[in-house]
Amino acid sequence: MMRRITIGAGAGFGVALGLLGATGVARAAPPIRIGVQAPITGTYADEGQGIERAVKLLAAEQNAKGGLLGRKIEVKVCDDQGEAAQAAICARQLVNDHVIAVIGSYTSGAALAAQPIYARADVIQTSDGTSNELLKHGYRTWFGNAAPNSAEAKFTAHYLVDVRHFGKIAVLTDHSSFATGLADAVVADVKADHGDVIDKSFINAGSQNFSPVLTKLKAMHPDVLYFSGYYSDGGLIRAQMVQLGMKAAFVGGDANQNVAFAKIAGPAAAGSVIINVPAPADLPYPVAKTFVAAYKAKYGALPPSVFTLTNADGMRAVMQAIAATKSVKPAKLEAYLHGMKSFQGLTGTFAWNAKGERTGSPFVAFEVQKDGSYRILYPAPTAG
């Protein structure tokens, strides 16, 4: 506690102390600074703290191997509380701390507010934000590390209409930027695939009281309920559907993929389907297994969600770029990241297109089992 306060005060007094500190250790090679901009407090504290932990873990592992280019990696964290104004302040602060790249933020809104500041300062920004607004300006510094809504929506529509042949499809979302964007895209793609969307309804995220809207939907007799929002609501929606005796199947968007989903839904969880890249613990790649094990060993808990890992992938890609280009010059790193054909991520093999959108995401539809584990339904898993 005491140490935290002194560190806090030091960081707060800004440039004067910063310069003193920097000159003090200037003899050794200065560290490479990486920023984390994430919601450490507030509603998304869980996810924000996960991102901070993942980045710090990766930095510590690399430093144990002697760092990068003979320099240590130093992580600077800024709490944006998931709010736009705080995000803008964080961005300026991290830029002033001379970070070369920033991991985060968790919410699209906070990433959006910080984006022009990083772009102007030529600082790499890699976030799980998937709002379309993030791609609008074509910033060279932007690298979305989660699969974009558009790709997920296409896969979802294909799965609902062509694979499962659901007739009446009801769509449910909350008011967040991410979930409404995904729901709208799914509705559009289902219609394009000649599916029948009978209703689009809203829940009030966090209100827990979803029975009224579900009761309304029940009377419409949908074959499937697709929910694009977050797991804490999704698990409850599933539980309340069963409690109300709704027969419709449940299919959830990627933000439902959290260990808590099955726990919240309880016995009702079995049979629900979630569409995402595979879950952290189920990622078939050895690198992912090693990372999750190391995370669990260090922090005593599993990563809160797959977005901890996509952001970790952002950090890993930046470190790989530094090692490969033997440089910390932003222009070189950005060119390397944009030019990468394929990156071996924890969350699968992917690359970035010119807009900084993640391409090549192995979406799967998996079914929640009785014990809370996942079984991949589609595409049918290949041998091994």
Partner 1 sequence: MGTFIQQVVNGLTVGGIYALIALGYTMVYGVMRLINFAHGDLCILGAFVGLSLLTGAAGSGHTGAALLLLAFVVSIIAIAVAGVVLERIAYRPLRKADRLAAVVSALGASLMIENGIMLVWGPQVHVFPAGLLPATTWHFAGATISFVQVMIILASLVLMAALYAFVNHTRFGTAIRAAAIDQDAARLMGINVNRVITSVFIIGPGLGAIGGLFIGIYYREAYFTMGWTYGLYAFIAAILGGIGNIPGAMLGGVLLGLFNAFAAGYVSSSWQDAITFGLLIAILLVRPSGLLGERVAEKV
Partner 2 sequence: MRGARLGGATGAVAGPVIWAAGLALPFALDSSWVSIAAFFAIYAITALSEDVILGRAGMFDMGHAVYFGIGAYVTAILNTTLNVPILLTLPLAMLLAAAAGALLSAPLIRLRGDYLLVATIGFNAIFVLAMQNDPGGITGGSDGITGIGVPSLFGLQLESQSAMFWLDWVVLGAVLLVMRNLDRCEFGRALRYLKQDELAAGTLGVDARAVKTLAFALGAALAGLAGTLFAVQLSTVSPSSFVFTESVTLFAIVIVGGQGSIPGVLLGTALMFVVPQIFRGLAEYRYFVFGIAMVAVMVLRPQGLLPRRRAVT
Q: Does 292 bind partner 1 (CB under 8 A)?
A: no
Q: Does 108 bind partner 2 (CB under 8 A)?
A: yes
Structure tokens at 328: 């910390």
Structure tokens at 98: 């001379």
Q: Contact region for partner 2 (CB under 8 A) — 131-139, 267-275, 321-329, 351-359?
A: 131-139
Q: Does 324 bind partner 2 (CB under 8 A)?
A: no
Q: What whole-number distance in Å separates Cα of residue 50 and Cα of residue 48?
A: 5
Q: Does 30 bind partner 2 (CB under 8 A)?
A: no
Among residues 44, 56, 59, 79, the one that binds partner 2 under rule CB under 8 A: 79
Amino acid at 22: A
**Closest Cα partner for 311 from 256, 355, 358?**
358
Among residues 141, 176, 305, 311, the one that binds partner 2 under rule CB under 8 A: 176
Per-residue exposure over 276-286, b if at least 16 CB sit within 10 Å of its own CB, e if not: bbbbbbbbeee
Q: Does 342 bind partner 1 (CB under 8 A)?
A: no
Q: Does 244 bind partner 1 (CB under 8 A)?
A: yes
Q: Which is nearer to partner 1, 209 or 342 (CB)?
A: 209
Among residues 73, 169, 239, 346, the one that binds partner 1 under rule CB under 8 A: 239
Q: Contact region for partner 2 (CB under 8 A) — 55-63, 106-114, 219-227, 251-259?
A: 106-114
Q: For residue 71, what is the DSSP state? A: B
DSSP string, 248-309: -EEEE-GGG-SHHHHHHHGGGGTT-EEEESPPGGG--SHHHHHHHHHHHHHHSS--SSHHHH
Mark 23-62 with x for binding to partner 1 (rule: CB under 8 A) and - for no binding: ------------------xxx-xx--x-------------
Structure tokens at 102: 């920033």
Q: Which does 208 bind (CB under 5 to 8 A by kind): partner 1, partner 2, none?
A: partner 1
Radius of gyration of the chain (CA): 21
**Closest Cα partner for 74 from 97, 51, 92, 96?**
97
Residues in CB range of 56: below 8 A, 6 or more apart? 36, 75
Q: Which is nearer to partner 1, 278 or 304 (CB)?
A: 304
Q: Which does 263 bind (CB under 5 to 8 A by kind): partner 2, partner 1, none?
A: partner 1
Q: Which does 297 bind (CB under 5 to 8 A by kind): partner 1, partner 2, none?
A: none
In DSSP terms, 144 is beta-bridged to: 127
Residue with token string 């934000």: 129
Residues in touch with partner 2 (CB under 8 A): 1, 4-5, 7-15, 40-41, 45, 49, 77-79, 82-85, 88-89, 92-93, 95-96, 108-109, 112-113, 116, 131-133, 136-137, 175-177, 180-181
